[in-house]
Amino acid sequence: MNPKNETEQLHLQYIKRLNKGHKQIRFYQLLIFLAFFSIWELASRKNWIDPLLFSSPSKIWELLQTKLTDGSLAANLGITLTETVLGFILGTLLGTCLAALLWWSPLLSKILDPYLVVLNAMPKIALGPILIVALGPNLTSIVAMGAIISIIITTIVVFTSFREVDHNYLKVLQTFGATRFQCFKEAVLPASFPTIISTLKVNVGLSWVGVIVGEFLASSKGLGYMIIYGFQVFDFTLVLLSLLIIAVFATLMYQAVELLEKKLIKNG
């Protein structure tokens, strides 16, 4: 066998091993998934757990089908999803803009520092009632909840990343006579993309919290409303159905952010 062929053989073996490992991981992931739902179903039918409280996958599935056919699920999901995506984008965008403003003016950042700490420490959810009264019990106030919950933490994390950009990158640009805006655009912002992306990932979760709590408080539509309604009429199948749907869509949003990460960070 000539050496080139041998290398190719070894490479093929390597790929085979890699695929095998991959398949193994997928297998166990699927196993956990199936085991979870089967045991849940079984435990519910055998009354090992209270079927009223914990419902069962089959009942949730049936409810899903009814809700899909009467169109109420799509409507509720659409509303919540819109609110969450808007809140998420708004929170991240405003947070990043605020961070940019603080970077722009070191004086402002020093002045605002204690206020940021206070605002960050305060539970934003507690602002819910005020927001709802101020903006009305509608989409606006719930989007505001989704945004407000992530805005301050985004500002703090992104601003820290802006400040920690290696000063020598700025030095390079300054020797070319770069303005502060050019420094920001060419070095500070792109250097901070990895941090901004990881903030996005955190914000996906936060926005869902904000929006669901907002719907608890005010709404007559949406998944948060479905949960509260299910709780009030003691229909925990409805609660669990909403919860599962939230889990699925939160994951999808997270995946979308990862896709964006791949596009944005080309040199990674």
Partner 1 sequence: MGFLTLNDIHHTYFTKTSATPALRNINIDIKEGEFVSFLGPSGCGKTTLLSIIAGLIQPARGCAMLDGKNTGKTDSGIGYMLQQDYLFPWKTIEENILIGPKINGTLNHAIKTETLALLDKMELRNVLTSYPKQLSGGMRQRVALVRTLATNPKLLLLDEPFSALDYQTKLKLENLVSSTFKTFNKTAILVTHDIGEAIAMSNRVLLFSQRPGKIHKIFDVPENLRLLSPFEARHHPAYNELFQVIWKELESLEPEE
Gap between the terminal Cα atoms of the chain: 38
Report if residue 171 touches partner 1, rule: CB under 8 A. yes
In angstroms, how far apart are the furthest CA atoms of the chain?
80
- Which lies closer to partner 1 via its Cβ, residue 47 or residue 181? 181
Q: Determine which residue in the list 168, 220, 232, 233 makes contact with partner 1, applying CB under 8 A.
A: 168
Which of 84/195 has CB closer to partner 1? 195
Closest CA to 104 of 168, 191, 188, 172: 188
> Phi first, then psi: what are they for 166, rounded to 5°?
-50, 125
Asked if 181 touches partner 1 (CB under 8 A), the answer is: no
- For residues 44 and 170, give the distance between their C-alpha atoms in angstroms, rounded to a whole number: 62
Confirm or reject binding of residue 127 to partner 1 (CB under 8 A): no
CA 165 → CA 106, 168, 171, 199, 264, distances in Å?
A: 15, 9, 11, 17, 18
* Residue placing its CB nearer to partner 1 in the complex, 2 or 175: 175
Residue 173 or 211: which CB sits closer to partner 1?
Answer: 173
Q: How far is the CB of 171 from partner 1 (least distance, A)?
A: 7
Check residue 85 for interaction with partner 1 (CB under 8 A): no
**Is residue 260 a contact point for partner 1 (CB under 8 A)?**
no
197 sits near partner 1 (criterion: CB under 8 A)? no
- Binding of residue 4 to partner 1 (CB under 8 A): no
Q: Cβ closer to partner 1: 52 or 265?
A: 265
The CB-of-102 to partner 1 minimum distance in angstroms stands at 22
What distance in Å separates the CA atoms of residue 235 and residue 122, rounded to the nearest whole number? 33
CB of 122 vs partner 1, minimal distance in Å: 33
Which residue in this structure is represented by tokens 């990895």? 194
Of 24, 29, 72, 182, which one interacts with partner 1 (CB under 8 A)? 182
- Find the binder of partner 1 among 135, 172, 197, 209 (CB under 8 A): 172
Of 144, 173, 226, 246, which lies in the binding site for partner 1, with binding defined by CB under 8 A?
173
CB contact at 8 A, 233 and 52: no
Query: How many other C-beta atoms lie within 10 A of the C-beta of residue 101?
Result: 14
Long-range pairs, 167-170, Cβ under 8 A, ≥24:
none
Whole-Å CA distances, 57 to 13, 44, 246: 42, 9, 16
Phi, psi of 267 (to 5 degrees): -85, 0
Between 26 and 167, name the residue whose CB sits nearer to partner 1: 167
Chain-centroid distance, C-alpha 255:
9
- Site size toward partner 1, by CB under 8 A: 20
Part of the chain binding partner 1 (CB under 8 A), chosen from 75-83, 99-107, 164-172, 205-213: 164-172
| Residues of the shown chain interacting with partner 1 in the complex, contacts defined by CB under 8 A | 166, 168-169, 171-178, 182, 186-187, 190-191, 193, 265-267
